[in-house]
Structure formats: C-alpha cells, structure tokens
Amino acid sequence: MRGPHNIIRLIRTGATMVRTGAMDVVLDAFDAPAPLRALAYTLGWPFQWLGYKGDPNMPPATRALTALGPAYIKFGQVLSTRPDVVGEEMAQQLRVLQDQLPPFPRTAAMAEVERALGRPLAEVFSEFSEPIAAASIAQVHRARLTETGEDVAVKVLRPGIERAFNKDVDAFYFAARIVDLFAPGARRLRPMDVIEHFDGVVQGELDLRLESSAASEFAANTSADEGFQLPRIRWEASARRVMTLDWADGVALGDNAALDAAGHDRHALGERVLSLFLRHALRDGYFHADMHQGNLKVAANGNIIAYDFGIMGHIDEYTRRVYAEILFGFIKRDYKRVAEVHFEAGYVPADRDVDEFARAIRAVGEPIFGMDASQISMGNLLNYLFEVTERFGMETRTELILLQRTMVVVEGVARSLDPRINIWEVAQPVVEDYIKKSIGPRAIASDLMKTAKVMARFGPRLPALMEQALIAQSQQPSGDKKNRAWQIPTAAGAIAGILLTLLISQLLS
C-alpha cells in the first residue's frame, strides 16, 4: 500500500537519525554543506520524539539503521565497505551490520527448520548450535548431519522478515514517487525503476531455494577458478526458509589482524577479490553481488571462500562487452573511445556533444593515474561522476545497478585489505583477456555461429514460408506492379538469406 501513510515512515526515518545521534555522524561523514545540514535538522528535529530509540549500546549510525529495519541495514552494509567515502571510524562501526546483528532465539530457529523440512530436527541434525552469525535477513547455526556426521552451516530466515522488508520497500516506493512528482530534474535517475529493481532483488533473497540454486550455478561456473572455493549445497536439508551447506573453516576477510597472524598476503588477497569479481562479471555474466567482508573467508590454504548467495547479479553478453570497452578505455586512457561507447550503447542522449563528454570523462579518469590509490578521494570522485551524469542527462541503467554497486563494494573490500590497491591496475589483465576473446575476429565468428544456429531452427518452416510468400504475391492487385516487383525479390531474398544461414551453420558446426 503505497499511500500517504508512508509519510510517517519517512519522517520517522529522519527522526530516528536525530534521536540516536546518527544525523551528526552521517552529515559529518559525507561532509555535508551547511544548507543541507539546516534542512536535515529542520525536518528531523521537531519530530525526533517519533524516532526509534534503538540499542544505546551501539554506535549512533549502527543504532539508527538497526532500529529502522532490514532495508536500511542493507544500505549500511554497503557503506561499511567504503572507509574512503564515509571515513574509517564510521566504516568500522557499520561493519557489525554484516554479520553481527542481534540474533533471534535458537528455539525459534529450530522450530523454523522443523516447519520448513517437515520432520523432527533430530532426524536431520544431531547437533544444532546457538547462532554464530546474524545479518539483516537470516542467521546461521553450526550443525551436524545425523546421517553422515558431517559439519554443516544452516541458514534460517528471521521470523516475520518478509513483512518487515515489504514495509520498508513500500516507504521507498512512496519516496520515489514523491521524487518523480516534485523533482523533475531527478527523473533521469529513474527512482521508481531503481526501487523496483531493489524490490525484486530482495524478494529473491527471501526464498532460500532460489539462493541454493544460485549457489549451485555459481559453483559450476567457477569450479576451475584458482584460489576460490564455494561450500557445497545440501539440497536434502534445504527449503524455502532454510538452506544447508558444507561448513567452511577460515579467517574472516575483514579481520586484518587475524589474516596477518595466519601469514596471509593481504595485498594479494585484495587483488584476487577484484580480479575474481571482474572475471565472473565479464566471463560468465553471473557474479556474487554481495561481496562484503561478512560473506568472505580465507581458508588455511589461502583460498577465498564465498558464501551467502542471496543477491546474485546477471548481465547479458552485449552489456558485458559495453562494460568491458568502457573499462578498457579507462585503462588505456582513451577517453574519446569511452565517450563513444556511452553514446553507442545509448547511455548518453544522442543530442549531446561526444567531445565534451570525453573531456568530462577525462577529468574523472586522470586523477586515478600516476597517483597512489590511498591519495584518491573516492567520495570526491563519486560526487564529480554524479555531476557529469546530471550535466549530460544520463539515465540510471537498472541492468547495471547491481554491477555498479558490487564494483563499489568489492573495491572497498580490496582497499580495506590494502589501501594502496588501484582498481585499474588490477583490472587491466582481466579486461584485456576478455577483450581479446569477446571483441575481435574470434567474437565475430562466434556471433555468426550463434546467429546461424538460431536461424537454423527455421529450417522446417521454409516450405510454409515460401508458400505464404507466393500466395501473398499472387493476391496482390494486378495494377500495383511497383509493389509486386518489390515483393518478389524481397520474399526471395528472405528465403535465400535463411538458406544461406543454414549453410553457414552446417559449415561452422
């Protein structure tokens, strides 16, 4: 129900930020200008009595987000990976949102498991621990399979989580509608499409059968990736609200002290996180879209272990090529080509000046080169990027939202391991390899073969197509000679084209 009652929800958001003291922290973290600070307090201060109190033992920002609900917690998880945007102190405070939220009782989790699997818990698990990690949507227990005695991790959805998420997303829809109505200049950001996309992602995350399926597909794609591993899904002990997978021992990727004590090379781990993400996105078009530190471990042998597959990203082959060309252009500092790709893909309106856009892109890319990564202000860079998109009327591309968001998160994870990591230097070999395989003569041959195979499916329909073309030609009025003369070669050309495609497909197969 996206009605005006959501105004109270939005007011309560601001009021909670003020009441918990988070407003100051957030405004300081983003270095907000004086007018914005004045507006925030004008809207939030009079209504602070409506705000949630939250847990006073938590830091202000974490306290506010946990009090507001799971959708806000998701937002905090993203910010927790960006110390270069929000500051190291705030990032550390928000990191507890990844897997250290207050759990729900073990007895409630056991009851959920029994309901989901339709049998007594003891038939499935001989042991079932207290919660060992709790996030915004679910929590995890360590258990032991009754039949085999193997250790497993059991993920259980929070009771009532569907209703809580739907309430938050409902308010987001209302806010997006207000933006559409009262801020025409922001419509290019397509706020309704963005919220619809977020809603779809969340709904998929609330069905653990889909997460199990995603994990299985992801494992098949990445089975040969060196230095990367995934726990195996136990389908016999999984359902819509419960997912069971092999137990994975390792050091949390966000615990630098433990990584150092275990002798792991943090710089190498940071580079590997970045390169793995790019490889999965470009090579497979299917990637882990929630790669924060709470979902990553490092095994004793140095392998990176990923888990929590509730949010997975998918991009089609055309979009992958566009994305790769844009990255490649940045890496080679060919800003004219970067601009041209944006125009060719329709990301920038055709009536804008490509050379001017190239100069604006250069101002984004040049500070990255010849400078230590720790000196680059990602906050300032993101602000300038936003200014560029606004000036050139670029619309939000919903198909790229998860890709862009994950890129930000993954770079944040890599920088938390080593602040001097430069994303462009790490990306270059991965992108160049993809370019060689997917943009060039080999790609053209591959595209021709795929097209031929699709066209070959029309082979059985050739006689009918020929008959339809001849009937249509014979029924044309005799006086319309011009049209008849045009239709005959057109019909013949279409049929000849299909025949030629069939021939090519046979030669290529």
Is 290 catalytic? The answer is yes
Residue 268 lies in a domain: yes
Q: Which two tokens stand for residue 393?
A: 């009327």
Query: Could you give the CA distance from residue 137 to residue 126 in angstroms, rounded to a whole number?
Result: 25
Residue 231 lies in a domain: no
Of 387, 421, 439, the residue that ends a domain is 439
Please indicate, yes or no, whether residues 472 and 380 belong to a single structural domain of this protein. Answer: no
pLDDT at 4 over 90: no
Please indicate, yes or no, whether residues 292 and 321 belong to a single structural domain of this protein. Answer: yes
Q: To the nearest whole number, what is the mean pLDDT of the chain?
A: 79
Highest mean pLDDT among 175-184, 278-287, 370-379, 387-396: 278-287
Please indicate, yes or no, whether residues 409 and 311 belong to a single structural domain of this protein. Answer: yes
Query: Could you give the CA distance from residue 380 to residue 329 in angstroms, rounded to a whole number?
Result: 21
Q: What is the pLDDT of residue 507?
A: 42
Please indicate, yes or no, whether residues 358 and 488 belong to a single structural domain of this protein. Answer: no
Going by pLDDT thresholds of 50, 70 and 90, the confidence category of residue 120 is very high
Q: Which two tokens stand for residue 484?
A: 């008849």
Q: What is the pLDDT of residue 500?
A: 44
More confidently predicted of 104 and 406: 104
Of 439, 454, 473, the residue that ends a domain is 439
Please indicate, yes or no, whether residues 425 and 454 belong to a single structural domain of this protein. Answer: no
pLDDT at 79 over 60: yes
Helix axes 401-417, 423-438, angle to 10 degrees: 140
Going by pLDDT thresholds of 50, 70 and 90, the confidence category of residue 201 is confident
Please indicate, yes or no, whether residues 415 and 481 belong to a single structural domain of this protein. Answer: no
Query: Could you give the CA distance from residue 400 to residue 323 in angstroms, rounded to a whole number?
Result: 9
Please indicate, yes or no, whether residues 354 and 430 belong to a single structural domain of this protein. Answer: yes
Q: Which residues pair with 153 in a beta bridge?
A: 142, 245
Low-confidence winner among 161-165, 187-191, 296-300, 365-369 (lowest mean pLDDT): 187-191
Please indicate, yes or no, whether residues 435 and 450 belong to a single structural domain of this protein. Answer: no
Q: Quote the radius of gyration of the chain (alpha carbons, Å).
A: 27
Residue 238 lies in a domain: no
Q: Which two tokens stand for residue 398?
A: 């919903």
Please report which helix (H) or strand (E) contains residue 33, including its range: none
Residue 502 lies in a domain: yes
Nearest alpha-carbon partner for 70 in 171, 148, 150, 221 = 171
Please indicate, yes or no, whether residues 433 and 354 belong to a single structural domain of this protein. Answer: yes
Residue 463 lies in a domain: yes
Residue 262 lies in a domain: yes
* Domain limits for position 466: 444-508
Average pLDDT over residues 479-489: 48
Of 76, 97, 118, the residue that ends a domain is 97
Please indicate, yes or no, whether residues 182 and 33 belong to a single structural domain of this protein. Answer: no
Residue 169's Cβ-count burial label (10 Å; 0-12, 13-18, 19+) is: buried
Residue 385 lies in a domain: yes
Query: Could you give the CA distance from residue 389 to residue 377 in angstroms, rounded to a whole number?
Result: 19
Please indicate, yes or no, whether residues 457 and 398 belong to a single structural domain of this protein. Answer: no
Please indicate, yes or no, whether residues 335 and 422 belong to a single structural domain of this protein. Answer: yes
pLDDT at 483 over 60: no
Q: For the segment 461-470, what is each residue's pLDDT rounded down to a tens digit? A: 767 766 777 7
More confidently predicted of 302 and 330: 302
pTM: 0.69
Residue 217 lies in a domain: no
Residue pair 60/47 in contact by the 8 Å Cβ criterion: no
Average pLDDT over residues 91-120: 86
Of 28, 290, 316, 433, which residue is the catalytic one?
A: 290
Q: What is the pLDDT of residue 153?
A: 96
Q: How many domains does the chain have?
A: 4
